[in-house]
Structure 1
Amino acid sequence: TMSGRSKKVKVWVRTRPTQNFAHDMIDMQTDKKAVNIHCPRDMRRGVVNNQVLDWSFKLDGILHNSSQEEVFSTVCAPVLTSSLQGYNSTIMCYGQTGAGKTFTMTGATEHYKNRGLIPRAIAQVFKEIDETPDQSITIRLSYLEIYNETMFDLLSTINPNGGKSNSALPGMTPMTVVEDENGCYIKGLSCHLAQNEEEALNLLFEGETNRAIASHTLNKMSSRSHCILTVYIESRSRVSSEAKYTMSKLNFVDLAGINDLSAVLLSEAWS
């Protein structure tokens, strides 16, 4: 069983590298796992006011000027191990527009070292499969986008037999949240088998090309939606005739930026 320490929700802060880091306002105490924020007093509000100037946040860790590999090994690798053991797990990115959420999740393709958590996790999953021949493990993927309170299947452009579908378009299949004795799931969301790392990465790249992306003052390629990529893991022992199937899910949630979320809410209010 998992220890009480590992069961709790863990919170990590990753800072985006910059030449002009606000050290006068942000004090990162890496050893104490805390971030202290100090804001200068706004003298326009008068000498005597109730303006809050200081905040302190306790965390599980701080990733400052960290590489993609360090972020994966620190944050994702333990969660991935739990998922392969049968535990449902989730990794979620939240923050300001342009802070690097999508870079952390999916990364960049220019250099191999810039791969994000999702492609690294996919590679690690199939590596674990190759190293455990006594287990029969099946991997499936789904990719969901939520935009303006509407759900879109980012993999609906792929037909069940593989390849592109001429008729299916993202969002054409109506989807609803359904709850049964096994929990909540998205009815109508397609789930695709991936037999190796290459097939899984092709599904990821297909979904990325279908995402709702627009220009933003803080980010030229801003993701205006919430996206959830789910890795479904189904395993069964090859050596035990009475072994039952163990099923688990690993969710990667890339939330819309704070500024993007405000823009979506405003557009709905005026529509």
Structure 2
Amino acid sequence: MYPANFDYQKASSVDEAIQALAANPDLKIIAGGHSLLPAMKLRLAQPPALLDVWGISELRGIKEEGDWFVVGAMTTHFDVLQSKLPLFAEVAGWVGDPMVRHRGTIGGSLAHADPSADYPAAALATGAEFVIRGPSGERTVKADDMFKGMFESAVEQGELLTHIRIPKTISSFAYEKYRHPASHYAIVGLALAKHADGSIRAAYTGAGEKAERLPKLEEALGKGETSFSGLVDAGNLLGDRFASAEFRAHLVDVLAGRAAARLK
């Protein structure tokens, strides 16, 4: 299928992008395009105008600042895969296929907040932070406050996600995924990260309307448990032709056991 007609413009800097968004509230940001364009082709999304931020060089690359890795939002999945980023580098290898990984961006995926995307679980498990800039300036949002609902993140109208901050103080991590065989999206994905203070954060994606923390699993891991049952209530999960809510709940338990076995 073909997308509905839309207007198109490009931004060459963050300031230019913010100004364009302020001037035209109808603009929808497009980065690598591998999240938004498929929805547009199916006409699940019909934005009247697109703002292309792919060419903003200041939003690319990975650097270290104190106890944080700072990742530009336009950094591609492939660059994340080749990096030393805790958990995220592993998760990037599960994203799509080589074409998607060379074009799609970490920031585009996280801001898009697809309920079946991989990175949101990694963000929650690592305790990542998100730097968001808008007409009123810059603000930082913690991972626990980033994902609001299905395709809904804390990035508001007129704002742009510029960087992701990932703690360097993670000693061990694991990501396990049961994926759709064609799209490679997560039917269920489960992420664990052990932090320097010994605490473990856990999160899942693909099973509900948004990625969520798993407090029952975090508590069980803190007690040294290695097998898990009933970590999530199937009544709160999605069911479709690919997997019922009950099967997704079962997958959360199974993947939790696999991921926990890999933690050091």
The answer to whether TM tops 0.5 is: no
Q: Which has the higher contact order (CA 8 A, sep 6+)?
A: 1
Query: What TM-score, normalized to structure 2?
Result: 0.23
Query: What TM-score, normalized to structure 1?
Result: 0.23
Instruction: Say which one has the larger Rg.
Output: 1
Pick the structure with more helix per residue: 2
